[in-house]
Structure 1
Amino acid sequence: MNTIKTQICIIGAGPSGLLLAQLLANAGVDTMVLDRKDRAYIEGRIRAGILEWGTVTTLEEAGVAERLHREGIAHDGFELAFEGERHRIDLKGLTGQQVMVYGQTEITRDLFDKRTEEGQIFYYNVEDVTLDGLKSGDPSVGFTQNGNRYEVSCDFIAGCDGYHGVSRQAIPADILKTYERVYPFGWLGILVDQPPVAHELIYANHARGFALASMRSQTRSRYYVQCDLSDRVEDWSDDRFWEEFSNRLGPAADGLRTGPSFEKSIAPLRSFVAEPMRYGALFLAGDAAHIVPPTGAKGLNAAVADVRLLSRAFVAHYEGDDTRLEAYSAKALDRVWKCERFSWQLSTLMHQFPEGSPFEKRMQQADFHYIAGSEAASRSIAENYVGLPLE
């Protein structure tokens, strides 16, 4: 048995775990990071690309925002398109804030580069991860790598290992409560090296289903259409996608430049929350504790909010103050549920539900017209989109 000692053992080397490690390193707190995959796999995952301004400032604090500011695209608003009608949500005018377009893949790469440069200890391709002593005051994490067994002796464990990770499963079933809404459709997404169809994002509700025009840069576009859960990527040729996407976007598709996609995938949609986000020495953050549908771009941003809160709590602990640790779960969950509400609201407004009745469809129309005709309603959307206060 090989023994490792550290202050914080971080399970998961995605953006949540990496950002937590960086913020703690900046404060002189020792960490080690383990993951069941390797760096190349983690960096290759295609994920979100819209950052709340609070996420941007947190990355600045971490010292990894130089390339973000050089290559990211600041957006002052976005557009809702509903059955041919269009309404722009003026983020800057309604809230004084912006959002930033910068892919999660790029954030992960920036964080990996900085942590590697600063000597972060990583263990990749680990198996058989176990969490022990969570309530004993002497927690530990066990894992196997290349046939060798390791035990990490630490003060705390940060579970940043996503929805399918082991951390949440370590909380006893009689303690853990979960809440879930599985949506009856998925998103088919593509990446294409063509300029985006518009300077800002367009969320569209069409009789045939939802569509989203997004981007990763001025020359790379990320587009989505709502699809059936039974669909396979192979069912969707590029030609079929472009025809469907153009129809759903309607007049907003004027000027759309098509081309061969170089990434295509289908993601199911779900809302999920686990409570509590702390059990003894174990603290959950990001997808390990909550999932939001991608409508509204809250997933990565909610994870960053957790990590910001948790890093401050750990630093305060080593300065002799445990009040932030004691408050972490309740405070994080308060914000999480508000993010869940917004993502659920926007998903309900913009998608076609197979079981939707004529009454429910008219409610969607009424909701859109209310938002379009009310500055207060638009401001509510804008406030949630740019991000609720982090603390």
Structure 2
Amino acid sequence: MKIVKILTLILISCLQSLMAQVTNEVLPVKGFAIAAPMPEEVNRFVKFIDEELAPRGINALILRVDYRYEYEARPELIGDDPLSKEQVKKMVTVCKENNIRLIPQINLLGHQSWHSKIGKLLEVYPVFDETPNVELPEEYKWPNEDGLYCKSYCPLHPDVHAVVFDMVDEICEVFEADAFHAGMDEVFYIGDDNCPRCSGRDKAELFAGEVTKIRNHLAQDNRELWIWGDRLLDGKTTGYGMWEASMNNTHRAIDMIPKDVVIGDWHYERADQSAVYFAMKGFRVLTCNWRKPDVSVAQVEDMFKFRKSATMEMKPRFYGMMQTVWSGAGSFMDGFYENKPDRDGGQETAWNTFRKMFAKIQELED
């Protein structure tokens, strides 16, 4: 009987070890982030979800909606080419059928304009503008005297959250979402010296305050907050610079925000390993790529290495991979199905990266 018991214990131990290895090789999140399709592209995009995303094991789809929905709570903020509730429900249905978590995105705080075009929020509510003194030029150039890239709303304006949270609540409801992506990347305008509310305040505290306010609002309905992580990295110390990290001292906010915020750590030119930093700070982190296949494959390999070598406490924080696409859904699908080359005739495209990245994930998971 003792021999049987010993053999049983050995067998259990071996099975546990095998299960641990299997678990170690599966990414919790395999994500894809893209602009919501145009109304006339919805049916085609639904087919793409069913035939291309699902078979690759993608289980999180982030759709940048912004003002392109027929909002009932805030009809004044309906932008061009809005999606109807019926069209959204088509995407909700196909995602449910394929066990894909559908997460809507509205850019909050930053990205309230785009170079020379004001966004819908500041167009309708110009009093929310953090920098009303900065005018959008007819001909945009970078760099410029105003440091203008994208406008921000003032996080301390007493009326701004009542407006934006109406949109957030409605879009989460129609998407039947248990998480919301607030963007919050590339925030260059914050704590402006001319703002009557923000002037002289700590930029890290302002950024952390806005993240926390959004997170707490979502938490009331048991929803998670997802954001991009660039403003939480020190651009000077890391050498990442002002785009992939912060050069205006918001990086200290990493120690001021709730740890249940999910971070998208994006690096597009190199396989930088700042995911380790976020995980060590207590956050679940996704490494995010774009259109360089070789860089993306290296990032996938890194994420698997991180999970394999991590402590029991750290491992769940290495949450997975997410490809970001910075074009319309229609143009991405055109490029994907027609296998279009890049401008130089090469294969550094988002759609080729899509193929290579998820093939690598499947290879490592198998």
TM-score (norm. length: structure 2): 0.29
As a proportion of its length, which structure holds more helix? 2
TM-score under structure 1 length normalisation = 0.28
